[in-house]
């Protein structure tokens, strides 16, 4: 009889169960950080082999963190890892994975149609109160969300690579995002021990909007022969306090990723054309499969 009254002590929008779609670089990181901070998380991908790869990413990262946090205490290391892993379930059935979920975070391939297909199906099958969020770096949240009937419960939740280390999360509000949804996402982000910032649904949000034109300008400067790649990196590290120079950072981000962001912006036409003008060296490196760190070569050789 009293349960009705008691239930009001938990806010309607309090998030406990999270489902993450995509167990790649970003998805695995988001799953790990959520699980480490007490959320029950389901990691969904289309095939078991991708789930297994995601689990490997998580295991390796947890081991590193455990060693750092509990230097000489093997028992504490073990119990940190076990308690985190006990919060993680996995699923290859795309709709079942979101049953009972309060928050669905999408971190699948960067393709508008693929993301829309997923959210359209989820809109019909998921809990009607569940909040939907996309981790997209370059697609408009409003475009992804418009296939659903819950744009008030839709936002961008943009994490940074590597997720366990990077403290920032950009929360992207579309016009329809409700205050309740927004507050829930702020709360979740803080519980994950991240710092949220808020941005409108504008190309590149905050970080990439400023960072990508800067990286391109560094490439143009070197392409003109005004300074060497090495000197530009040294200059920005020692003269501007950047932890990595622009070429090191470009190689770290992935040159294909950078190129696809810039190409998308240029096609979009919303950003000043000069800022997103193509850079021959970048285009050529990508054409040759030199994608940066991940392929062993980019502006530098690894």
DSSP-derived 3-state class of residue 140: coil
Instruction: Say if residue 128 carries a ligand binding annotation.
Output: no
Q: Is residue 44 at the binding interface for ligand NAI, with CB under 6 A as the rule?
A: yes
137 is catalytic: yes
Q: Is residue 25 at the binding interface for ligand NAI, with CB under 6 A as the rule?
A: yes
208 is catalytic: yes
Task: Mark out the alpha helices in the chain (DSSP H runs).
Answer: 3-6, 25-36, 48-69, 74-85, 112-125, 141-145, 179-191, 207-223, 229-240, 246-253, 255-268, 280-287
| Complex with ligand NAI: residue 132 or 159, whichever CB lies closer | 159
Q: Is residue 230 at the binding interface for ligand NAI, with CB under 6 A as the rule?
A: no
Instruction: Decide the pairing of beta strands 154-158 and 168-173.
Output: antiparallel
Query: Is the CB of residue 18 less than 8 Å from the CB of residue 103?
Result: yes
Instruction: Say if residue 27 carries a ligand binding annotation.
Output: yes
Tell me the closest approach of the beta carbon of residue 111 to ligand NAI, in angstroms: 8
**Tokens 């912006």 found at:** 265
- Scan residues 111-150 and list those touching ligand NAI (CB under 6 A): 114, 118, 135-137
- Scan residues 81-110 and list those touching ligand NAI (CB under 6 A): 94, 107-110
What is the rounded distance in angstroms from the CA atom of residue 292 to the CA atom of residue 249? 9
| Complex with ligand NAI: residue 21 or 132, whichever CB lies closer | 21
| Complex with ligand NAI: residue 168 or 186, whichever CB lies closer | 168
What is the rounded distance in angstroms from the CA atom of residue 69 to the CA atom of residue 79? 12
Sheet hosting strand 17-21, strand order edge to edge: 88-91, 40-44, 17-21, 103-106, 131-134, 154-158, 168-173, 195-200
Q: Is residue 50 at the binding interface for ligand NAI, with CB under 6 A as the rule?
A: yes
Q: Is residue 275 at the binding interface for ligand NAI, with CB under 6 A as the rule?
A: no
Could you tell me which residues are annotated as the binding site?
22-27, 45, 61, 68, 110, 115, 137, 161, 294
Q: Supply the residues annotated as catalytic.
A: 137, 158, 170, 208
Applying CB under 6 A, which residues contact ligand NAI? 21-27, 44-46, 50, 94, 107-110, 114, 118, 135-137, 158-161
């Amino acid at each position: 009889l009293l349960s009705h009254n008691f239930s009001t002590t938990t806010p309607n929008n309090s998030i406990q169960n999270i489902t993450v779609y995509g167990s790649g670089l970003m998805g695995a990181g988001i799953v790990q950080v959520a699980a480490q901070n007490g959320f029950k998380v389901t990691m969904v991908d289309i095939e078991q082999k991708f789930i297994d790869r995601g689990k490997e990413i998580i295991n390796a990262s947890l081991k590193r963190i455990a060693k750092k946090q509990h230097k000489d205490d093997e028992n504490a290391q073990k119990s940190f890892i076990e308690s985190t892993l006990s919060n993680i379930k996995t699923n290859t059935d795309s709709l079942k994975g979101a049953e009972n979920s309060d928050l669905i975070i999408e971190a699948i391939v960067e393709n508008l149609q693929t993301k829309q297909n997923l959210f359209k199906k989820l809109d019909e099958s998921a809990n009607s109160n569940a909040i939907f969020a996309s981790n997209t770096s370059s697609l408009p949240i409003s475009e992804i969300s418009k296939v659903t009937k819950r744009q008030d419960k839709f936002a961008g939740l943009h994490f940074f690579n590597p997720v366990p280390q990077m403290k920032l999360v950009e929360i992207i509000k579309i016009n329809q995002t409700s205050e309740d949804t927004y507050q829930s996402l702020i709360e979740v982000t803080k519980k994950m021990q991240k710092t949220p910032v808020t941005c409108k649904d504008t190309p590149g949000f905050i970080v990439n909007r400023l960072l990508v034109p800067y990286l391109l300008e560094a490439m143009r400067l070197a392409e003109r022969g005004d300074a060497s790649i090495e000197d530009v990196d040294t200059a920005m590290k020692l003269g501007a306090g950047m932890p990595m120079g622009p070429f090191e950072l470009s190689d770290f981000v992935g040159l294909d990723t950078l190129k696809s962001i810039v190409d998308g912006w240029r096609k979009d036409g919303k950003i000043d054309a000069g800022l997103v003008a193509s850079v021959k060296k970048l285009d050529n490196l990508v054409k040759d499969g030199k994608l940066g760190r991940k392929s062993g070569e980019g502006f530098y050789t690894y």
